[in-house]
Amino acid sequence: MNDPIRQPSSESKSTYVFDPESPEELTRLLAMDRTTTRAMGGPLANLPDLPENADVLDVACGPGGWVLDVALEHQESRSIGVDISQRMINYANARAQAQKRQNASFRVMDITRRLKFANNSFDLVNGRFLTSVLPSAKWPSFLQECRRITRPGGLIRLTESEYIGLTNSPACEKIRVLGSKLLVSMGHGFSVDGESFGITPMIARLMQKAGIEQVQQSIHMVNFSAGTDAWPEFLHNMELGATLGLRMAQKVGAPVSEDSEALIQQAIMEMHREDFCCIWWFISTWGINPGN
């Protein structure tokens, strides 16, 4: 497989809605990666069996948890992760070395541009929560790139959600809507009113329009309510995510309320209530590349 390592050009600019080099974001993504994979039943759950010695790619891989899980379960495979963040890639490569995962590697790459891989390189191209990375206008060209680098008969799987958790907390719900509006204001998602990402009803159609066939979907759910094992992860994610979102809103000049920090503290208080309830759901959509 011809897959030269190249750094993003000087023209590359991150379209991620958070700072991809933030150590807080790395910490947040580590926890959410574990939660997501567990809820899905494993890194490759529900997918058809891959060929022996499969080549697997994870786009916008963050700190690399999914790639390392695949490398552990399928030690005969070659698993690669790409991300625009040098911090994420350095961390992921260090994890691979520490875990002696010689069949896992990571490199810096901008997925909003042409991917630096040859045609027909992979048996599976995977991506999770790309709405926060890809502006809405970039989805068609990105999906064509996924098809180009996927072998005929290979799989393309994308996992997306509308938001991180629907709750009975007034403060959390305000933050959720503000986060959705920030994302939409930055040119991401397909929402008609700015109160959600708008990606989950669209993803299957987008993949079909790109020529991906036999598209299927499955839904996954995590209960983050008070008293559940997952509750600490949601608390951690909400606190970090809201703080990072506020930081990004200030950076891009989006409207920011003077009481934003107080709202975050109110949300944390409400999440500590015994009657706090939260459900997070997300959808995996996958299909087959028919080839040219």
Q: What tens digit of pLDDT does each residue of 223-233 get? A: 999 999 999 98
Confidence of residue 255 (pLDDT cuts 50, 70, 90): low
Residue 108 structure tokens: 């810096």
Structural tokens at position 57 = 């790619």
Q: What is the pLDDT of residue 227?
A: 96
Looking at CATH, the fold of the domain delimited by 23-288 is given as Rossmann fold (3.40.50)
What digits encode the pLDDT tens for the residues 60-75?
Answer: 999 999 999 999 999 9
Least confident of 18-27, 92-101, 233-242, 246-255: 246-255
Strands (E) in 24-178, as ranges, are 55-59, 78-83, 104-108, 122-128, 150-161, 166-167
Q: For the residues 227-252, what does the mean pLDDT come to?
A: 87
Range of lowest pLDDT (98-112, 226-240, 266-280): 226-240
The domain locations on the chain are 23-288
What single-letter amino acid sits at 263?
Answer: L
Give residue 140's identity as a one-letter amino acid code.
P
pLDDT of residue 246: 82
| Rounded-to-integer distance, Cα 180 and Cα 228, Å | 26
Which 3 state secondary structure label does DSSP give 128?
Answer: strand
pLDDT at 43 over 90: yes
pLDDT for res 7: 39
**Could you report the per-residue pLDDT of 107-166, keeping only the tens digit for each?**
999 999 999 999 999 999 999 999 999 999 999 999 999 999 999 999 999 999 998 889
Residue 245, pLDDT score? 84
For the cut 80, the answer to whether the pLDDT of residue 292 exceeds it is: no
Summarised one tens digit per residue, pLDDT across range 18-33 is 888 999 999 999 989 9
Task: Say which amino acid occupies 229.
Answer: D
Q: For the chain, what's the residue count?
A: 292
pLDDT above 90 as % of the chain: 76
Place of tokens 């891959």: 50
Q: What pLDDT was estimated at residue 187?
A: 93
String of b and e for 86-114 (b: at least 16 CB within 10 Å)? Answer: ebbbebbbebbeeeebebbbbbbbbbbbe
pLDDT of 4 above 50: no
In the block, which residue shows the tokens 């060209």?
141
The whole-chain average pLDDT of the chain stands at: 91
258 pLDDT band, cuts 50/70/90, is low
